[in-house]
Amino acid sequence: MNDETATTAQNSLGSTTLQYEATGASKSTNDLGMRAMQARVWDKRDAQHLLVKSPPASGKSRAAMFVGLEKLRTSATARVVIAVPERSIGASFRDTALAQHGFHSDWQLDVDLCTIGSETGRKVDELISFLNGEGGNTALCTHSTLRSAYAKTNDVSLFDRTLVCVDELHHASSDENSRLGNLLRGLIDRAGEVGSDAAHILAMTGSYFRGDGTAVLHPEDEARFEKVIYTYYEQLNGYEHLKTLRINFRFYQGKYLDAIGEALDPNLKTIVHIPHVGSTEAGGVNKMFAVDAIVDAIGDRLGENATTTLDPATGFVHLSAGGKTLRIANLVDDSADRDQVLSSLRAVQGREDVDVIIALGMAKEGFDWVWCEHVLTVGYRGSLTEVVQIIGRATRDAPGKEEAQFTNLVSAPFAKDEAITRAVNDMLKAISVSLLMEQVMAPVFKFRTHKGADQFDGTPGEQGDDAPVTNAGEIEIVGMPEINQEAVEAIETDFNDLFADVQSDPRTLTVMINPDDHHTDVMYDLVVTDVIKKRYPSFSDAQVEDAVGLFGVRAGLGREVAKDPSIIQTPGMSEGEQALFEMPEQGTDTQASDGPNAGDRFVQQAKRFINVRELQVDLLGGRRDFDDAYELLSKELSEELLARLHGEVRALKVNMTQEEAERLYDRVKEFIARESREPNLNAPNGREVRLAEALAFLRKLSREKRAAMAGADMQGASDA
């Protein structure tokens, strides 16, 4: 590959294909008209502070309506205000007929502050009037309007007896400069003073983790929320039509506009997200020129005589080629014409109404176009949150839509580029996301230590036909000691968030690119330990140790299932047991395996089982993340680029800590016994160098300790 020619890698980096059963479970409704996730939220409707972590398209907007209407009916609150990050998302919260499906009331919006028009002081004043009891019981506004109302009054009591529903909570932050985060903390503190008469909070997000190293909420604040967790796996596995999701990362060199045509398929309903003008990927190209170039790339693929026309009725660009017409919506243009395009998109009813949407900052979250089959994003987008939200644009279920795809087109670093460090950072984040998504998309796993005990402490669980059935599985692990229940709950409910924190840690990214220089299992445990301590500051050392162990097992299970979904099976069951846990016929191996089944499989509640005999607990705890990432890199990059990356990332080398040195000491002793010499600081083997650094570090600590003790003895003698 040369610097002048834009090319994509032969194979997409981190390509992952995930298959789902399309059981229809996540879309079926109960007698109140609630889907699976909504019913789960409804069960927690009495909570004053409720945090919902649920993927795009799972029905969070209606869940908010159900809870809001119930709190109004029972007078738990007097008002409901829903805040969304941008106006275009507001359509999901407008008037909705719920009673015809069994609920006690319809949702009617009294005050809509997300109508066409810019954010103005008038809207802020209208919201303040609403919160003071004027204008009805339900209001919709943007995050900006909500923040501005709080800033203008500087009075958190303004929100008393109001359900404050914050959609896309990840826009908040525990950082002291986050105005939305400050408002939430103020509401929580107010509840500690006046109880249930203070504001009630319903916080919702499709991707709770952030990619900037800053938490959404302080751990002590998050602990005051009741949580509802609904995973991507549950959502997608329970669809009716969508059965396959592909996640791809592709490298290009040169200008992305020269490479984007290879990544676009005009036969797929597509959203294209172009990079911001000031970003490295944009290369200084004007955003409107970029849109024209993408349109030309699509046209060139369709035929030589392609022409474009603007439809005055919709504002869509019509691209005609070879007798086929494509309708393209341009959301990059921020002129007055964009309101017409947005209105036309809201009016879309069928698959053929629009074919391609080109966007910059819009159409990333809360944007519903169910026919979207492919999301193509240029450049890494700053955080894991944004990537997950973008993927959610394609994961809507629709008739005839069996496959969906996410493609991230990422700039490959130039060997002589002065901005190599920034490019390396972007690339490592992309790898982090690809590994993360393998975990996000895997089934939920629950743990128990021995047959007959539903919890680690041996507490009997529900049995028989009345036991709850979910998409989660319970797995027995033989020989594992009793585990603290709080640690179990932490991993079961927050694993995806914890995994994201581990993946975005600078030490993780450094080891990913140089796995041969580090004892990866030691570094992995150090990072996981630090992440768990930070998220659960009240955990004892024993609880942290339990959580770290379970994290390793859970990560290994997700990795193995992602590699080979067929390992989910029903081994060694009797005919009677098989009847209770009948597996779907299509694409499922129901053949019983040989041998005893105690301690080898998912049990009791889940209709899903996994043969642990074939995995082994030590394999489940193997820290393969770093090696897998390096293997991907070595396949995708030229030898020159890979060597350059090694050199650059060494500048980010993880410094030795006392904890790491102490953990490596046993390996130092093993090395000396095996090699009959001490590890060499100048050895060509990076891991030997790391052992030598640990030995030198510990000797330095020992010298300092002896000097301190000698000084203390001298001081004591002097005092005497």
Q: What is the radius of gyration, based on Cα positions, of the chain?
A: 28
Question: 220 is written with which tokens?
Answer: 């002590």
- Asked whether the predicted pLDDT for residue 45 surpasses 60, the reply is yes
Euclidean distance between CA atoms 66 and 42, whole angstroms: 7
Per-residue pLDDT averaged across 715-720, rounded? 58
Euclidean distance between CA atoms 629 and 411, whole angstroms: 17
By CB atoms closer than 10 A (0-12, 13-18, 19+), residue 535 is middle
pLDDT digits 0-9 by tens, 185-220: 899 999 989 999 999 999 998 765 555 556 667 777
Query: Quick one: DSSP state of residue 568?
Result: B
Q: How many helices (H) and strands (E) does the chain have?
A: 22, 19
pLDDT at position 402, please? 92
Tell me the pLDDT band of 715, cut-offs 50, 70 and 90: low
pLDDT at position 200, please? 97
- Least confident among 122-131, 330-339, 503-512: 503-512
- Least confident among 88-102, 368-382, 412-426, 448-462: 448-462
Tell me the pLDDT band of 436, cut-offs 50, 70 and 90: low
- Asked whether the predicted pLDDT for residue 285 surpasses 90, the reply is no
Tell me the pLDDT band of 690, cut-offs 50, 70 and 90: confident
Tell me the pLDDT band of 430, cut-offs 50, 70 and 90: low
Question: 417 is written with which tokens?
Answer: 């580029």
Euclidean distance between CA atoms 27 and 463, whole angstroms: 26
- Least confident among 135-139, 147-151, 338-342, 370-374: 338-342
Tell me the pLDDT band of 162, cut-offs 50, 70 and 90: very high
Q: What is the DSSP string of 601-651?
A: SB-SSSS--B-GGGT-HHHHT---HHHHHHHHHHHHS-HHHHHHHHHHHHT
CB 602 within 8 A of CB 473: yes
Residue with tokens 């979250």: 365
CB 517 within 8 A of CB 690: yes
Per-residue pLDDT averaged across 450-467, rounded? 41
- Least confident among 71-80, 279-288, 553-562: 553-562
Euclidean distance between CA atoms 236 and 18, whole angstroms: 10
- Encode burial over 26-46: b for 16+ CB neighbours within 10 A, e otherwise: bbeeeeebbbbbbbbbbebbe
Residue with tokens 């972007």: 426
3-state secondary structure of 451: coil
CA 26 to centroid of chain Cα atoms: 19
pLDDT digits 0-9 by tens, 492-520: 878 877 887 787 777 776 777 677 777 87
pLDDT at position 131, please? 95
- Least confident among 100-104, 519-523, 587-591, 699-703: 587-591
pTM of the model: 0.70
Sorted by sequence, the CB contacts under 8 Å of residue 662 that are 6+ apart come out as 698
The torsion region of residue 29 among left (phi > 0), alpha (psi -120 to 50) and beta comes to beta
- Asked whether the predicted pLDDT for residue 64 surpasses 90, the reply is yes
Greatest CA separation found in the chain?
102
Taking the alpha carbons of 421, 426, 432, 438 in that order, is the dihedral positive or negative?
Answer: negative
pLDDT at position 525, please? 85
Euclidean distance between CA atoms 694 and 453, whole angstroms: 43
pLDDT digits 0-9 by tens, 181-194: 888 889 999 998 99
Residue 357's nearest CA partner among 288, 290, 271 is: 271
**CA torsion 405→406→409→412, rounded to 10°?**
-100
CB 250 within 8 A of CB 13: yes
Euclidean distance between CA atoms 428 and 515, whole angstroms: 13
Q: In order of start, what are the domains of the chain with their CATH numbers?
A: 36-230 (3.40.50.300), 236-450 (3.40.50.300), 480-548 (no CATH), 654-717 (no CATH)
3-state secondary structure of 680: coil
Tell me the pLDDT band of 682, cut-offs 50, 70 and 90: confident
- Name the residue with higher pLDDT: 17 or 640: 17
Average pLDDT, the chain: 75
By CB atoms closer than 10 A (0-12, 13-18, 19+), residue 258 is middle
pLDDT digits 0-9 by tens, 300-324: 444 444 456 778 888 888 886 556 7
Euclidean distance between CA atoms 651 and 647, whole angstroms: 7
CB 85 within 8 A of CB 365: yes
pLDDT at position 597, please? 35
CB 377 within 8 A of CB 217: no
The torsion region of residue 384 among left (phi > 0), alpha (psi -120 to 50) and beta comes to alpha
Which residue type sits at 596?
A: P
pLDDT at position 110, please? 95
Euclidean distance between CA atoms 239 and 243, whole angstroms: 8
Q: What is the DSSP string of 94-136?
A: S-B--GGGT-SS-B--SEE--SSS---HHHHHHHHHHHTT-S-
pLDDT digits 0-9 by tens, 11-23: 345 566 777 778 8
- Name the residue with higher pLDDT: 531 or 713: 531
